[in-house]
Structure 1
Amino acid sequence: MSNRYLHLHSLVAILVGLTGVGNILTAWLVHHPGRFIWLKHYLPWIVLRGSWLSSVIAGTVQLFLSWNLGRRKRQAWRIAVAMFSISTAANLLRGLHYGQAAFNLGILLMLLALKPHFTAASDPPSVRHGLAVFAGVTLFTYLYGLSGFYLLDRYFHQHFDLAEASRQTIAYLAWLATPELEHPNRLARWFLDSLAIIQVGGLLYGLYMVLRPVVYRRTVLMPERKRAAGIVERYGRSSLVHLTLLPDKIYHFSRSQRSFVAYALVGNVAVVLGDPVGPDDDIPHLIDEFTAFCANNDWHPAFYQVLPDYLPVYQACGYKFLKIGEEAVVDLHTFTLAGSSRKNLRQTVNRMVRKGYSTELLLPPLREETLRELKEVSDHWLRLQKGGEKRFSLGWFDPAYIRSCPVMVVRDSRGRVQAFANIIPEYRRNEGTIDLMRRREGESGLIDLLFVRLMEYFKEQGYDSFNLGLCPLAGVGDHPGASLQERAVYIFYQHFNQLYGFKGLRQFKEKYGPRWEPRYLIYPHPLLLPKIAMAVVTANAGGSLWSYVRAWREKRRLV
């Protein structure tokens, strides 16, 4: 992993890009009249002109390919080898330009020598689609050009029969200039421009599809989900590990089949939820294997909300890390409502009890009538939030999921559910935690009563702690040794708090006296951080950012 961005393929990609620029500039700016005069005795003017245009097109495509060669695309390597062979020949025809031809030949030999480095696959259906686009655009532009030259010949001051119209079309699509097209009027020029736009547009779209990263289409099979559940039962030990079993996750297992990562694919970013799950001795191997798997699919791996435990392992594999917030964890051995520090919380709970509010633990499987009541509360809460259900690092209200969980509810004096939270396991970690926490609009103490009763329940069950969840961006970049990335996060935390309420969330959880445990984002390279951050946000939004945009606009309107 550490050498991914330092391999020789990166140097070759840069050289290909520079060569593309050089091909374009020399085609336009560098001419040796003596060479052209000598070549005119042996080659037609059409061939000379066509070779010049071919160099321009080859240089443009080389610029496009250089980026994909940097991504180690196998298809880009194949196209680059073909393009450099053509470019070398074109440079010889363009005035016997031996120096440029020799340089291109050297790059071609380097590409051939480094063939094993280019292993990143393209998406097979997209490759087939791209090739079909090439064929379809070629056929369409030929028929379009044939009709245009035949019907518009008078606008070129020529007479084209079908055979001559076909010859002109083929020559134009091959970027070979012909004397008959040297004096078009405005309509004829518009036709030529439209023909070029169709051809170049089809070429670029076809190249994009051929070089597109692999798109995950395979359905996760039930045996794989059962295998993941078995590993979680044996090795799971975090507040997120149960969420890896939800159906929005894709699995990659280690070669030993003893560990796995659960991820979502957003574009070409594979966002892993939490740390790998499995025995400690298998985790470094799995991280290396998953990194190679992503590289071969032209994906960028990232690990979201990881614990500090494996940071040295990620660093050894070449990754960077960025603190993204802190989880609030309450020590149940010391938690109490007694004392002056808990006075406000104690008064809030007592006030809610006096008003007739009570809590009840509902054990699975839940009845349909109960699910309908919980759904009403959930829908009301979503309307308050001005957004839709989240995914990935949170669960969502799925009846089958909620039915299988213990649920703590808060009821009013009439027995109506006003708030609820579903309890999820952390398996090997003796810690209580919840996933969804939803309420109706009303009494401000609903969540305080709910949390206090949850902590009392977990304490009675012998748990050591209660996880209140992540406070995003909390404690990031507020110390002298903070990195540039952490300071940028801190600026965002300070200036956008009014819209997103980061500080309010931390202040709310602070009343329970938790300890704050850091959580991190693991990423491969600083230049990829903005793209990965957007992928994380998109994954948490369920694949669409519209819910965030809608909520942001509504909150901004109310500010």
Structure 2
Amino acid sequence: MPRIAALLTLAIGLMDIGSSLTPEWHSRLEDLQALLPMAVSRQASAFTVVVGMLLVLLAAGLRRRKRRAWRATVVLLGTSVVLHIVKGLDYEEAAGSAALFVALLLAHQEFRAKGDPTTRWRALGIGLLLTVVSIGVGFLLLHLRENRIAGPQPLSAQLEQVVLGLAGIPGPLEFTSHHFADLAFRTLLTMGVLTIGTTAYLALRPPEPRPRLTDEDEARVRALLARHGDADSLGYFVLRSDKSVVWSPTGKACVAYRVVSGVMLASGDPLGDREAWPGAIREFLREAADHAWTPAVIGCSEAGGIAWTRAGLSVLEFGDEAVLETTGFTLEGRTMRNVRQAVARVERAGYTAIVQRISDLEPRDVARLRAQVAVWRGTETERGFSMALGRIGDAADGDCVVVMAFSAEPHGAEPRLRAVLHFVPWGRTGLSLDAMMRDRTADNGLNEFLIVSAVRRARDLGVKRLSLNFAVFRSALERGERLGAGPVLRSWRGLLMFLSRWFQIDSLYRFNAKFQPTWLSRYVCYPASADLPRIALAMLEAEAFLVWPRWVWPRWRGHLPRPSTRLRGGARSGDDGADHRQVHRRETGSDARHGRS
């Protein structure tokens, strides 16, 4: 019903605009003049254009079941019925508006979604949109009645006529029909008042706060991590400051999410007691339904995928997470030859590594680390949402581990920091890679050296497993190059190789595979296949692979804060001829875990 109502509303809106811009029936006008002054009919025509334009804009809100859009549409349709009668006894158009008016009243229960959180930035976007639409309608009006304009007029004069008309100022054009001149003036002035009034209202009303992790939510999340943090390597990333959480009725589990372009995007598994997962998932889906958001999950494990499928979502394997078991890790053997050679080369160059928890660093060392990371920052775009914390060195993150590589400097100078790995806790006995940052001028193989150094110190830190990087569609890449792979699988691998030119899909997989990790599958959950393109774009935007220019209003359409900019990391990796393969945060900035995709 909402989709049909949206299409009909769009059609009625276009019909209203066309009805006002085309000539009326003379016989009906003569009958109308016996009841109403001609000025009232002309003003009604101007109002009908504005009502039609608003109906066109409201169609999208109806499709998303928005309650506010339904209310506004019902009011406008009732107004449209009256205006069609007043402007020219247009019974046919009035009947169409009345029929849709009655249908929407009968289907009022279908439109129950709440309005989206918003900010004053939306006022700018709406103002620009209404201005463009108003100018377009003005040009259409002049084009349809160009025979009423005295002599040929250049496009610049028509634009001046429209822009001045929106402000209620007579333009340079002369008309042969006083009736049309009056209609054009009233229509443009009404649209100008509507544009200015709507923009002013949105700009001056109190903005609704953007959702983010509150202090109370953070305290509750940390309590859950202390009890259930071993379950998922992505659990600690719930603490990103630009995520919101929805809780189960018992408060024993939560789902972290961000709304991006109308998609309510959750990350990882629900956090907390597994028996409470269904309650948290139901609350998540209820919140999505209340706002007509499309629910989706990125990066959940197999256990999380099963829980989401029981709630009605479909699951698609998205890739694999590389996990190292530190107790059995060794550099011996032919399969580890590349890693062994890279580490040996870096050690011969005089590099040393220090592995410490953030809480063990001196304040001045933390400040120096942050300063160096800021120097390495390549761009202002910070990647990461599902597998990146977005900060480094905060006092609250004392259990995080930093692995720092220092190069030996000549003439007895102080060693220079050249690369950093940042890990977040994975329960009591694990670490999960957050970011890789390095100096572009440092030697190749530094990332291998740092990972091996972290494994070597794992016993001292009480760490038994390291979660490294995420490889998108790893199984397809691996099976597609095997002997006997079918044409479909080979074609799919070929497409992934093509996309690797921009997203480093294949090179990232091969970098992970060098360490002979255990692969743990990760999944994407979605309501229907038709939603996948929209969800994919939302994922790219959340991870900052798709970044809107600052001057474009849709950059804020996710209704949530920009990704945290406290971590502005370094440069790409320079491993074994695979500097372009780096697990990256950004192409020229810090390398983060979900550059891991």
Identify the TM-score tier after normalising by the shorter chain: 0.7 to 0.9
1:515 paired with 2:514, answer: no
Q: Structure 1 length normalisation: TM-score? A: 0.73
1:198 paired with 2:192, answer: yes
1:375 paired with 2:361, answer: no
What is the distance in 1 between the residues matched to 2:468 and 2:500? 20
- Give the CA deviation at 1:207: 9.1
- Aligned residues of 2:376 and 2:438 also touching (Cα < 8 A): yes
Relative to structure 1, is the Cα distance of residues 420 and 32 closer, same or farther in structure 2, using a 3 angstrom cutoff? closer
SS at match of 1:399: coil
SS at match of 1:275: coil
Name which of 392, 395, 410 aligns with 2:389.
Answer: 395
Q: What is aligned with 2:59?
A: 66
Relative to structure 1, is the Cα distance of residues 215 and 274 closer, same or farther in structure 2, using a 3 angstrom cutoff? farther
1:470 aligned partner, one-letter code:
F
Q: What is aligned with 2:284?
A: 290
What is the distance in 2 between the residues matched to 1:517 and 1:53? 63
Relative to structure 1, is the Cα distance of residues 54 and 397 closer, same or farther in structure 2, using a 3 angstrom cutoff? closer
Name which of 215, 226, 235 aligns with 2:228.
Answer: 235
Deviation larger for 347-356 or 10-19: 347-356
1:241 aligned partner, one-letter code:
G
Name which of 82, 106, 113 aligns with 1:113.
Answer: 106
- Give the CA deviation at 1:67: 1.2
What is the distance in 2 between the residues matched to 1:238 and 1:411? 32
- Give the CA deviation at 1:435: 1.9
What is the distance in 2 between the residues matched to 1:24 and 1:471? 52
Q: What is aligned with 1:147?
A: none
Name which of 88, 94, 106 aligns with 1:101.
Answer: 94
Structure 2 unmatched runs, 5+:
131-149, 151-165, 169-173, 410-414, 481-488, 550-567, 569-583, 590-597
- Aligned residues of 2:299 and 2:318 also touching (Cα < 8 A): yes
SS at match of 1:508: helix
Deviation larger for 285-294 or 355-364: 355-364
SS at match of 1:419: strand
SS at match of 2:354: strand
Q: What is aligned with 1:501?
A: 504
What is the distance in 2 between the residues matched to 1:253 and 1:417? 42
What is the percentage of aligned positions where both structures have the same residue? 25
After TM superposition, the structure 1 = structure 2 runs for residues 157-236 of structure 1, keeping only pairs within 5 Å, are 183=177, 195=189, 198-202=192-196, 205=199, 216-217=209-210, 220-236=213-229
What is the distance in 1 between the residues matched to 2:340 and 2:107? 69
- Give the CA deviation at 1:226: 0.9
SS at match of 2:377: helix
Relative to structure 1, is the Cα distance of residues 329 and 220 closer, same or farther in structure 2, using a 3 angstrom cutoff? closer
- Give the CA deviation at 1:240: 1.6
- Aligned residues of 1:323 and 1:476 also touching (Cα < 8 A): no
What is the distance in 2 between the residues matched to 1:487 and 1:286? 40
RMSD: 4.6
Deviations 1:430-481 (CA, angstroms, capped at 9, x unpaired): 543332332333222322222123223336777554321212454458879x
What is the distance in 1 between the residues matched to 2:85 and 2:178? 31
Q: What is aligned with 1:11?
A: 4
Q: What is aligned with 1:252?
A: 246
- Aligned residues of 2:400 and 2:422 also touching (Cα < 8 A): yes
Deviations 1:348-404 (CA, angstroms, capped at 9, x unpaired): 333444444343332423112432443355345434xx5654453313453325655
Q: What is aligned with 1:262?
A: 256
Deviation larger for 408-417 or 54-63: 408-417
SS at match of 2:394: helix
After TM superposition, the structure 1 = structure 2 runs for residues 478-557 of structure 1, keeping only pairs within 5 Å, are 493-524=496-527, 529-541=532-544, 551=587
SS at match of 1:425: strand
What is the distance in 1 between the residues matched to 2:349 and 2:393? 31
SS at match of 2:355: strand
Deviations 1:523-556 (CA, angstroms, capped at 9, x unpaired): 4455655554444344334996579999579xxx
Name which of 397, 409, 419 aligns with 2:404.
Answer: 409
1:256 aligned partner, one-letter code:
T
- Give the CA deviation at 1:218: 5.8
SS at match of 2:400: coil
What is the distance in 2 between the residues matched to 1:35 and 1:191? 23
Name which of 73, 87, 92 aligns with 1:80.
Answer: 73
1:44 paired with 2:37, answer: yes
1:503 aligned partner, one-letter code:
D
Name which of 25, 35, 50 aligns with 1:57.
Answer: 50
SS at match of 2:426: coil
1:365 paired with 2:364, answer: no
Q: What is aligned with 2:133?
A: none
1:258 aligned partner, one-letter code:
K
Count of residue correspondences: 497
Q: What is aligned with 2:144?
A: none
Deviations 1:273-299 (CA, angstroms, capped at 9, x unpaired): 222212223323322322222343454
- Give the CA deviation at 1:332: 4.1
Q: What is aligned with 1:420?
A: 420
SS at match of 1:337: coil
Name which of 323, 333, 351 aligns with 1:339.
Answer: 333
- Give the CA deviation at 1:326: 2.3
- Give the CA deviation at 1:512: 1.0
Structure 1 unmatched runs, 5+:
1-7, 138-155, 157-171, 175-179, 481-485, 554-559
1:278 paired with 2:272, answer: yes
- Give the CA deviation at 1:216: 3.9
What is the distance in 2 between the residues matched to 1:508 and 1:173? 61
Relative to structure 1, is the Cα distance of residues 290 and 207 closer, same or farther in structure 2, using a 3 angstrom cutoff? farther
Q: What is aligned with 1:148?
A: none
- Aligned residues of 2:47 and 2:190 also touching (Cα < 8 A): no
Q: What is aligned with 2:594?
A: none
What is the distance in 2 between the residues matched to 1:477 and 1:288? 35
1:458 paired with 2:458, answer: yes
Relative to structure 1, is the Cα distance of residues 344 and 56 closer, same or farther in structure 2, using a 3 angstrom cutoff? closer
1:497 aligned partner, one-letter code:
S
- Aligned residues of 1:380 and 1:439 also touching (Cα < 8 A): no
SS at match of 1:257: coil
Q: Structure 2 length normalisation: TM-score? A: 0.69
Name which of 308, 318, 321 aligns with 1:314.
Answer: 308
Q: Which one has the largest radius of gyration?
A: 1
1:510 aligned partner, one-letter code:
A
SS at match of 2:523: strand
Relative to structure 1, is the Cα distance of residues 314 and 397 closer, same or farther in structure 2, using a 3 angstrom cutoff? closer
